[in-house]
Amino acid sequence: MTHTLTAKEQSLAKIFSDDYVFTIPGYQRPYAWGRDQAQELLDDLLGALASAPAQLGEAAPYFLGSIVLIKVEASPEATVVDGQQRLTTLTLLLSAVRATVQDVAVQTGITKRIYEHGDVVSATQARYRLLPRERDRDFFRQYVQHENGLQALAQVNTVLPDAQARLRGNALVFMEVLAKLPQAELVRLVQFIITRCYLVTVATPDLDSAYRIFGVLNSRGLDLSATDILKAEIIGALETEVLRDLYTKKWEDEEEDLGRDEFGDLFSHIRMVYRKAKPQGTLLKEFKEHVVPAKHPRTFMDEVLLPMAQAFCELRDADYASTHHAEQVNDHLRWLNRLEFKDWVPPALTFFVRYRQQPEAVLSFFRDLERLGYSMLARKAGVNERIERFSALTGAVEAGSDLSGSASPLQLSPDEQHRTYAALSGPLYETHSPRALALLLLRLDHLMSDGSASYQHEVVSVEHVMPQQPAPNSQWAAWVPDKAVHQLWVHRLGNLALLSRKKNSSASNRDFSWKKAAYFTKGGTTAFALTTQVLQHADWTAEVMQERQNAMLELLETHWRLQGRKSKAALAEALLAELEEAGDAVLFELESSRHGLAAAAKENGKAFTVLAGSQAKLDWTGQPHSYLQLREDLRSSGALKLSEDETHLVFATDTTFKSPSAASATVLGRTDNGRNTWRLKGSSITYAAWQDNLPSSQPATGRLEA
């Protein structure tokens, strides 16, 4: 289908004609305009009419905004993506004028803009210009579109559903104002509405592109969202009206409990659970493509949405309930929720819906998840790194992998521990954003207070104890006279304190005793253990800062278990030494979180062998290559077979290749430089880096590729 976008300025004479039959789809919110909006619309129209010339044909066009439609050029059928409130209220206003004006010809002309009568002779039914949501459709026809309907509606005294009550209320507003106008003015008003009022119609035949257009045009954030469309499609696919009503209530109950914005966030997290990669399209598009259970409505509702909504609520509120470890788990959740990034939520949801009844496992998982999240905060991990890591963790949870093992994506490698510790040891005030720095210091402060501190301050800021630019003749300069030493310590943990107020640049350079008495405290006390510690010192020397820094780092090192840290250089040196002693066979591994693949191999200098049980991508997606034929030969011979769940291939036996690239191409289903893809088992050292450190006389299959 050609996705042709059209945008036209059209008078209401064109809008309410045979060119359009508007349908409000089920994913739209109920009619929501109240008396204030109805009154404002009518006041605006009457104001514009009052300033119009006697000949209405000479009046300037009066624009009422835009509507977004799903519509093909050849058909009048138009699904309203945005514009429900305007179209419904304008129809209601025309009906109110018809009910008030006495001229039968005018009444008949208005009716033609609202609906066409059916014809007995030609056996045609009435054709309505606007079809509201199905649950309000009969009500709208009886009381708004049909003649004499509004008079009957005014007499209705029963309790109506919210949307219908709003229609009745707005009808009364219109009729009250219109009843005060002279008959000639009523005729002139309806002529102005039909001939001089315009809407911009934006139409596309594609639902997804219409939704994107709506998102651009609708800066006010009205009631349509991707979840509304998904709701209509998922609930609408249920077999019976009873089921649709049942699951609609369940859906709307969860949306109400979470709040509309966070309900949308939940769908983004569910998308990531299944997508396991950085989003490349709209939520609507990717949800349809990747969330397979959404194609089976009851399965999606019962096994995905409802359990994850409950889990999301508990995780967001740090409200885990259990007879064991509940408060410890909730403490970890509170700190996770303080992180600015939320990439940790998809694996957390995936784990929690599976294991929430196992408190020991829950405590272990969220303790380690906090460790991973704050390590990423300290290391300033970028969004791509976070998505890849947490997606790998989601996959590991789904696969039932051992999450406590050193190779688990939940655990920090020795190098990651090293980089976390190095970042915490460094000039944090200089390297990290104020928000990230304040959070790291709050976490440290909580540890220093033995977990008893709570933080409800409206403002938390980080301040230097020793000023950044101390006066030359100040006590600060006497305590730390060497400028290099000052620069070494000024931005590090040992010289930082927390304030429950905004920083005051003029106070920063005051002497130590004044800052302790008037700046670091309120009423002689401070809410932060970190700052209380500062108050206990009479002098502020490099030795004091060193001692304080060591104590702070020891707390963080213990809490986040950074004792196993090793730099890349140290790891590489140790690994190469180990390999020299290990003999001929060297183990390598290849992991692709994007495709959920893991493979292991060994190199003995003569052949590169992929081990049985290794995984390979189901299909070849790259350009034609000799490796494709090699892959097909392995499938034909039975060396590569289909996995039990039919999602990938599995090596049935140890399989020998002439080079690491031939092996990685077979695993990934495309040409690949295996010297960069394969890594020494348990490390980040590539095959190429390993090979470069070999004696020139030692054979390796990768030398054929270098």
Residue 454's pLDDT is 66
Residues 350 and 384 in one domain: yes
Residues 435 and 344 in one domain: no
- Domain-terminating residue out of 407, 436, 458: 407
Where residue 407 falls among pLDDT bands split at 50, 70, 90?
A: confident
Given a contact cutoff of 8 angstroms between Cβ atoms, the answer to whether 114 and 16 are in contact is yes
**Whether pLDDT at 573 is above 80:** no
Residues 300 and 401 in one domain: yes
Q: Which residue has the higher pLDDT, 596 or 635?
A: 635
Residues 310 and 400 in one domain: yes
In a domain, residue 274? The reply is yes
Residues 237 and 210 in one domain: no
Q: CA 166: distance to chain centroid?
A: 34
Total domain count, the chain:
4
**Whether pLDDT at 179 is above 70:** yes
Over residues 354-369, the pLDDT tens digits come to 999 999 999 999 999 9
In a domain, residue 1? The reply is no
Given a contact cutoff of 8 angstroms between Cβ atoms, the answer to whether 235 and 251 are in contact is yes
Polymer length of the chain: 706
- Domain-terminating residue out of 170, 198, 217: 217
Given a contact cutoff of 8 angstroms between Cβ atoms, the answer to whether 587 and 602 are in contact is yes
Over residues 190-227, the pLDDT tens digits come to 999 999 999 999 888 876 666 566 555 544 434 457 78
The stretch 436-461 carries a mean pLDDT of: 82
In a domain, residue 566? The reply is no
In a domain, residue 418? The reply is no
**Whether pLDDT at 1 is above 60:** no
Task: State the Cα–Cα distance between residues 148 and 143, nearest whole angstrom.
Answer: 8
In a domain, residue 572? The reply is no
Burial code (b: 16+ CB inside 10 Å, e: under 16) for 578-612 equals ebeeeeeebebbbbbbbbbbbbbbbbeeebbbbbe
Residue 351's pLDDT is 97
- Domain-terminating residue out of 351, 377, 407: 407
Residues 75 and 177 in one domain: yes
Task: State the Cα–Cα distance between residues 246 and 306, nearest whole angstrom.
Answer: 13
In a domain, residue 413? The reply is no
With DSSP H G I counted as helix, E B as strand and the rest as coil, what are the percentages for the chain, rounded to 5? 55, 10, 35
Residues 343 and 435 in one domain: no
Residue 221's pLDDT is 39
Token look-up 């976490």 returns: 443
Where residue 457 falls among pLDDT bands split at 50, 70, 90?
A: low
Domain extent, residue 94, equals 6-217
Task: State the Cα–Cα distance between residues 652 and 655, nearest whole angstrom.
Answer: 8
In a domain, residue 420? The reply is no
Residues 582 and 649 in one domain: yes
In a domain, residue 106? The reply is yes
Residues 551 and 587 in one domain: no
Residues 173 and 273 in one domain: no
Residues 524 and 589 in one domain: no
Residues 392 and 433 in one domain: no
Helix H or strand E segment including 571: helix 568-582
